[in-house]
Structure 1
Amino acid sequence: MDELEFRRRIMSDPKNRDPEVSAAINASDKNAQFVDEVMELDKKISKAMSVDAPDDLADRILFTHTSTHEDNLVTPNFARRAMAMAASVAFVVGLLVGQVNWGNFIVKPAQASLEATAMDHVLNEKAFVSSIDEQVPSSQINAKMLPFAYQLSKTFPYHVYYLNHCGFGHTNAVHMVFQGDKGKVTLFLTRISSENTRDFNEKGMAGFIEPMGETSLILVGDENENLANIAENLSKIIKPII
């Protein structure tokens, strides 16, 4: 499991201790320290949000309502105190949340476009995957695609540097980096459907989306890369499991 995936899992569920997460914690003092910090933050947020209502809350509300009705005069003291208490809680939570650098591991929400999600994912992980060469065989690619009900019908035609699962919007994706004609190309295979084939360009990079039933094949690479041709080649060998 890479560091980014580990951080995503811990942030989404600080108490998660599945075998992969436990192995990552035991293998790295940095990961263990990160878990401790997130657990401590979780405790602080829970404590800040645990504001007990006064025992005489109901009596105060009734008293305020009665006074307003009889004297035609609004008594705002209790309302002001309640609003001040809520504002204090929000301020404390804001301070706690501000202590964490969320930008390093938060993925765009599901409402974001496929283009934006894919492009941000590539930019955020570019430094991490740039020096990796796992020399991934086709058998491992099939293993990663299996949860998405897809398999290769032939050997993958490009050299694969990196392969894993990742968070992608509201769901997951196969995340692969392989060698294209002009440079490295990033592939995402995700269960988010797309209506039509389309390309996009942003920040000196190009992208291409190929619908595959209820799944989308997304490629991001150099702006001079012929991603449409690569997508056509891959769509011929990435087949649904029947």
Structure 2
Amino acid sequence: MNCVEFRRHLGADPQSNAVEFVRHRAECPRCADAAGRAVEFDRNLLRALNIEAPAQLADSILLAQATDERRRRVTLRRRGTIFAVAASLALAIGLFGMRVDAKPLSTLAVDHLSAEPFALATTAPIPDTDVRNAFAKRGVALDKVPAGVSYVQCCPVGRYLSVHMVMPEQDGPVTVLYVTNDIAKQRQDFVRGGWLGRSVPMGHGTLVLLAKSSSKFDHVEAVWSEAFATAPANGRG
């Protein structure tokens, strides 16, 4: 069991006694710390829920039932106001979503990386078939897979669809995001939130690289450029 599998299992059952789960917890300090926090959260939640029913609960229920008809009449009178408020709220949410979507891909990529820091902890290479399958889900038939991919998932990045990968390098891991429903206008280096980045139009999408050091960007870009040079056209976004 690797760190990603452990975190998924932890989210489903923090108290699990599965052999692989227990073994990984004993071998990985970071995952053991995460498991400890999850167990403590469960304990606090149980304590919070262990509350005796108030002595006047039955009276309160009867009172609520007795006033239900009055509330129903008030609700009918206010329905027009509620609809107006709901419409305003929907408009506000829509405008907020437009502002979120207005973020550039580079910013959305850094935000996504910050939400999945555990991906950077994986270092063991994964099978090429896992990478091909992830790209296939995005409509890309990838024949050649660069060596050294240690993590892959199909992830939404804001309004974009991507294949999220990690490639461990000597100077630190390089996050590789291949966005299938956007093509960058030009190759560009950037700095966002303490991360160095590069976006490159490649194939029928955009390759985004993120790392603390850009020393391996040229190499990683080259191996993926070679991989896409042999890839057939996209079937879908």
Normalising TM by the smaller chain, what interval? 0.5 to 0.7
1:20-72 deviation per Cα after TM superposition (whole angstroms, max 9, x unaligned): xxxx8994378xx9xxxxxxxxxxxxxxxxx9542997xxxxxxxxxxxxxxx
Distance 1:240 1:148, change over 3 A: farther
Task: List structure 1 runs of 4+ shifted beyond 6 angstroms.
Answer: none
Which of 179, 183, 205 lines up with 2:195 in the alignment? 205
Which of 165, 168, 181 lines up with 2:157 in the alignment? 168
> How far apart in 2 are the matches of 1:56 and 1:150?
50
Task: Count matched residues.
Answer: 159
- Report the Cα offset of residue 125 of structure 1: 1.7
- The residue type paired with residue 132 of structure 2 is N
Structure 1: where are the runs of 5+ without partners? 7-23, 34-50, 58-81, 91-105
Residues 101-112 of structure 1 aligned to structure 2 (within 5 Å):
109-112=100-103
Tell me, yes or no, if structure 1 residue 235 matches structure 2 residue 225.
yes
> How far apart in 2 are the matches of 1:26 and 1:113?
31
- Report the Cα offset of residue 119 of structure 1: 1.1
Residue aligning to 1:118: 109
Tell me, yes or no, if structure 1 residue 177 matches structure 2 residue 162.
no
1:128-184 deviation per Cα after TM superposition (whole angstroms, max 9, x unaligned): 224334531111101100122324443422x22211111111232111111134110
Distance 1:135 1:86, change over 3 A: same
> How far apart in 2 are the matches of 1:26 and 1:199?
36
Tell me, yes or no, if structure 1 residue 54 matches structure 2 residue 77.
yes
1:92-118 deviation per Cα after TM superposition (whole angstroms, max 9, x unaligned): xxxxxxxxxxxxxx9x94321011011
Q: Which has the higher strand share?
A: 1
- The residue type paired with residue 117 of structure 1 is L
Conserved 8 A contact 2:123-2:168: no
Conserved 8 A contact 1:181-1:225: no
Pick 1 or 2: higher relative contact order, CA cutoff 8 A, min separation 6: 2
Q: Secondary structure at the match of 2:154?
A: strand
- Report the Cα offset of residue 206 of structure 1: 1.0
Residue aligning to 2:133: 143
1:177-210 deviation per Cα after TM superposition (whole angstroms, max 9, x unaligned): 1113411011111122211111112343211111
Structure 1-normalised TM-score?
Answer: 0.53
- Report the Cα offset of residue 236 of structure 1: 1.2
- Aligned identity (percent) is 21
- The residue type paired with residue 166 of structure 2 is V
> How far apart in 2 are the matches of 1:133 and 1:226?
16
Residues 1-242 of structure 1 aligned to structure 2 (within 5 Å):
27-28=12-13, 52-54=75-77, 82=81, 86=85, 109-126=100-117, 128-133=118-123, 135-157=125-147, 159-190=148-179, 191-238=181-228, 239-242=230-233
